[in-house]
Chains A and B, each alone.
Chain A
């Protein structure tokens, strides 16, 4: 059972950017956690975001159980955004309520192992603007069919929109002893 929780690195955008990437991730922990809060600089209401390990662009799969209201309700999706990356949460866009950001957590167990890499995600994004009423709650599980140890993690929009200023992400390491 993990019993330590250590901040490894953090980033906060001072201006919009296409992606936020953690590189040279130390290989001394058991699991990783990313807590991130973001917004997109364009888009309609809420959009999906994606994650890539080690710059790898193939071999991802995921299952997503989400409530996206009011248009879609509860639904279960497979391979959201395709298999070139893995779903990493919903985030509000420039069309959402001003100054609102998402709350997302990504858990990555056994990131240094020589096995395929799994992740789990929980995410909330909300828009209460008069123009667009939309919000999303989601739980997701993902897999990268690659055995390389994870040394970098990139977060970006799935739709090609930039992450807005003040989007933040913090990477934590967890040890099992």
Chain B
């Protein structure tokens, strides 16, 4: 069972109810979007790391040496 907890700020009443069909569908949409974003971000991070490593290799310096240069 998937429930939602609602607090009415005027009365202080707390209500527990099951998610509606629309809310369950929206939850799946949110979940899919979050997962696709995560995959895209990880791919971008991997790509950047590869580009950085390639550049360091091209320059013939280590990451620590690059930090010294930029610091």
Contact = CB atoms under 8 A, between A and B. Distances in A.
A1 interface: no
Interface string B27-39: 1111101110100
B4 interface: yes
Contacts of B5: 11, 13, 17, 19-21
A158 B6 contact: no
Interface residues of A, number: 34
Contact of B9 (A26, A48, A80, A156): A26
Contacts of B26: 57, 84
A85 B10 contact: no
B71 interface: no
Interface string A141-161: 000000000000010101110
Given A20-B7, A25-B9, A159-B34, 11 more contacts: A18-B3, A18-B4, A22-B6, A50-B30, A75-B45, A79-B37, A81-B37, A84-B33, A158-B30, A158-B31, A160-B27
